[in-house]
A and B are shown apart, each in its own frame.
Chain A
Amino acid sequence: TQLLEQSPQFLSIQEGENLTVYCNSSSVFSSLQWYRQEPGEGPVLLVTVVTGGEVKKLKRLTFQFGDARKDSSLHITAAQPGDTGLYLCAGDDYKLSFGAGTTVTVRA
């Protein structure tokens, strides 16, 4: 059973559109991390959110951590083909518990 549920599982959009990926859990984590994985490579950390209600921005990517520290979202503005990849959220309680991932495809 997955501790973290990610939705949607797949997302295919046109270049320039916006998208949001959701990560929900029944457990509270001390922090939550978002990773992006490209084909043939290992996941790479994008951001860590720690405080309930926190919002972090990384260029066109906006990450939110829910007030209760159980859910998070990733919003991409004006998506580009370079944003294509598998996006993974992971709850941190000394060891990471990963969601199943959202595969994002941005068409040129």
Chain B
Amino acid sequence: DVKVTQSSRYLVKRTGEKVFLECVQDMDHENMFWYRQDPGLGLRLIYFSYDVKMKEKGDIPEGYSVSREKKERFSLILESASTNQTSMYLCASRETGYSNQPQHFGDGTRLSIL
């Protein structure tokens, strides 16, 4: 079974801090994704990566950046955290970019910015 592991289940940070969320997958998948999930809005794509050192903006990239130095690891960075970035963050991976393949999700990081 594919395992997607997010480094923290809960995280509390202060406004203005630089925040790192880490995600690791163990199945050599090419594609990795970062979403945020807010009540009534579903999952919204922040950034995705289709290969090492490659990244593409999703629907809501403002205030975020990403890093993918190794195939198995995809990091989400909040450059200067703000209260409106309080949310549930979900990481996912997919074997390739071909349609019909499932995305495999981690259990999420609930981030609170005070």
Interface residues of A (CB under 8 A from B): 2, 6, 9, 30-31, 33, 40-45, 48, 50, 88, 90, 92-101
Contacts of A45 in B (CB 8 A): 102-103
Q: How distant is B104 from chain A, measured CB to nearest CB, in Å? A: 8
> Is the beta-carbon distance between B43 and A41 smaller than 8 angstroms?
no
Scan B36-62; emit 1 where CB is below 8 A from any A CB, else 0.
000011111100100000000010000
* B107 interface contact, C-beta 8 A: yes
With contacts A42-B90, A42-B108, A43-B105 taken as known, whether A92 is within 8 angstroms of B42 at the C-beta atoms is no
CB closest residue in chain A, given B90: A42
Q: Lowest 3 A-B CB distances belong to which pairs? A: A42-B105, A45-B102, A100-B42
What is the CB-to-nearest-CB distance from A46 to chain B, in angstroms, rounded to a whole number?
10
